[in-house]
Amino acid sequence: MKGRHWITFASLALTLAAVQQPALAQNGDTGGGEVREDRRDLGQDRRDIREDRRDIREDRNELRGDRRDLRQDVQSGAGPGQIAQDRRDIRQDRRDLRGDHRDLRHDRQNQHGDRRDLRHDMAGRKGHSR
């Protein structure tokens, strides 16, 4: 579970770095560097979104497993400590899912902004080439 948190943290850090790139690219370069950066940002956005979706699938599977464990423990007459642990696991899985969905929304917003930047930069290149 800790490994997934590091992956999410790394994904968020890369996303934040990608968000800064368009702001740094506003230096008036008409040589196509901005377009390359926008395309690179879009590629990173796609990778982040795929990773977010994978995290969501994994967390959903964990949640299903923890719910199954809780049902089995209740049916088998497990002690209150074990049942409480199962419920804590379920709460943690739900928190993880909410975080994954938040990351996915954030990455989709970044992708939208990067597409807008690419369209803007492509329009600027066409205007300068005349």
Q: What six digits make up the tokens of 17?
A: 């770095």
Q: How many residues does the chain have?
A: 130
Record the pTM. Answer: 0.64
Q: What local confidence, expressed as pLDDT, does residue 31 receive?
A: 53
Q: What is the pLDDT of residues 41-55, one digit of tens each?
A: 888 889 999 999 999
CA 73 – CA 83 distance, rounded (Å) = 7
Averaged in consecutive runs of 10 residues, what is the pLDDT profile of the chain (130 residues)? 69 70 53 79 89 95 96 95 96 96 91 83 65
Beta carbons of 66 and 93 less than 8 angstroms apart:
yes
Q: What local confidence, expressed as pLDDT, does residue 111 receive?
A: 84
E runs forming strands in the chain = none
CA 56 – CA 98 distance, rounded (Å) = 9
Q: What is the pLDDT of residues 113-124, one digit of tens each?
A: 888 888 888 887
Q: What local confidence, expressed as pLDDT, does residue 96 receive?
A: 96
